[in-house]
Amino acid sequence: MGLSDWLSIGLSLLAAMFLVELTAWAPRISDRLLTLATRLLPEHHRARTAEEWRRLLEDVPGPLSRIAVAGELLFRAAQHPGSALQVCLVSATDRVNAFCTLIFIAPLILIILILTSLAGARDILVSVETRGRFGKTFDRQYIAIASPDDLRASRGYFWFLCKIGFHELPILSNIVRGEMSILGPLPLDASQKYECSDESIRPGIVSPSDLFGIRSRNPSEQRCHDVAIMKNITLDTYILAMIMIIPAFFTTNRCD
């Protein structure tokens, strides 16, 4: 027998031993994969879906087939709207986009700050205490104008600044810190209460309802639409939103 024959026999023995070990460990592996898949799902889907998937796995014949099915369920869970992985990917992309935008427009922000100072603004940067995720508060900053109710927003340079939304540019730093997102329900002041079980949703600069054309006269109803969209966000939807968001940001009247 030549060397190649001995190698072939050795590899066959190793493959057989590996198959035996894999078969022995198959129940534990499939169980771990199923547990991981369940954890990736949105919290309100976990209990019911976990029970359905466990019954499905029990009906699969053969331990190795169960591993394959459990792997498929893990892949499906990762792609599920609002899954932990999708939320993580959207959050990471959000921060990267905001950071790159801040770096790119830093000279523009500096020019706006100088012009705002020359225009006679008493406070160049204005902070507003904001209610964030899970009741935590943080300060979001604006350039000179924090509210359309500010009388300066109705005239001259300050009206133009508010009209094109440039007074909101410092909020990008809140996105980089993970306190806000580019897309999300509009922020609440610290004195306002949550609506529509939105404690886990980061406030955003642009409302999904405005972006996707879901109109409502009731602010509470519109906020519920925003929360529902963000709870089921996927990376694909987020990328589509980023393509639409620039014209929406500049065409939305922020001074009314």
Residues 203-229: pLDDT tens digits? Answer: 888 888 777 777 666 777 778 888 888
Q: Specify if 256 maps to a domain.
A: no
Confidence grade of residue 103 (pLDDT, cut at 50, 70, 90): very high
Q: Are residues 16 and 40 in the same domain?
A: yes
For residues 57 and 34, give the distance between their C-alpha atoms in angstroms, rounded to a whole number.
Answer: 9
Q: Average pLDDT in the 28-45 region? A: 76
The answer to whether 145 and 152 are in contact (CB under 8 A) is yes
Q: Are residues 236 and 111 in the same domain?
A: yes
Residue 33 CA: distances (Å) to CA of 36, 86, 95, 205? 5, 18, 30, 37
The answer to whether 211 and 248 are in contact (CB under 8 A) is yes
User: Has residue 79 got a pLDDT over 60?
Assistant: yes
Confidence grade of residue 255 (pLDDT, cut at 50, 70, 90): low
Confidence grade of residue 75 (pLDDT, cut at 50, 70, 90): confident
Q: Average pLDDT in the 145-174 region? A: 77
Q: Which amino acid is at 120?
A: G
State which of 48, 79, 110 marks the end of a domain: 79
Return the DSSP state at 129.
E
State which of 33, 50, 79 marks the end of a domain: 79
The token pair at 49 is 């879906």
Give the distance, in angstroms, between the CA of residue 125 and the centroid of all CA atoms in the same chain.
27
Total number of domains in the chain = 2
Q: Among the ranges 21-30, 112-121, 144-153, 184-193, which has the highest mean pLDDT value?
A: 112-121
Q: Are residues 70 and 97 in the same domain?
A: no
Strand pairing class (125-131; 188-189): antiparallel
Q: Are residues 60 and 174 in the same domain?
A: no
Q: Are residues 108 and 194 in the same domain?
A: yes
SS3 13: helix
Residue 10 confidence (pLDDT): 64
Mean pLDDT (the chain, rounded)? 77
For residues 198 and 227, give the distance between their C-alpha atoms in angstroms, rounded to a whole number.
Answer: 6
Q: Which domain holds residue 151?
A: 84-251
Residue 253 confidence (pLDDT): 55
The token pair at 39 is 């954890």
Q: Are residues 67 and 51 in the same domain?
A: yes
Q: Are residues 130 and 243 in the same domain?
A: yes
Identify which has the larger pLDDT, 45 or 96: 96
The answer to whether 205 and 171 are in contact (CB under 8 A) is yes
For residues 184 and 154, give the distance between their C-alpha atoms in angstroms, rounded to a whole number.
Answer: 27
Which segment of 78-92, 101-115, 160-174 scores lowest on mean pLDDT?
A: 78-92
State which of 79, 96, 127 marks the end of a domain: 79
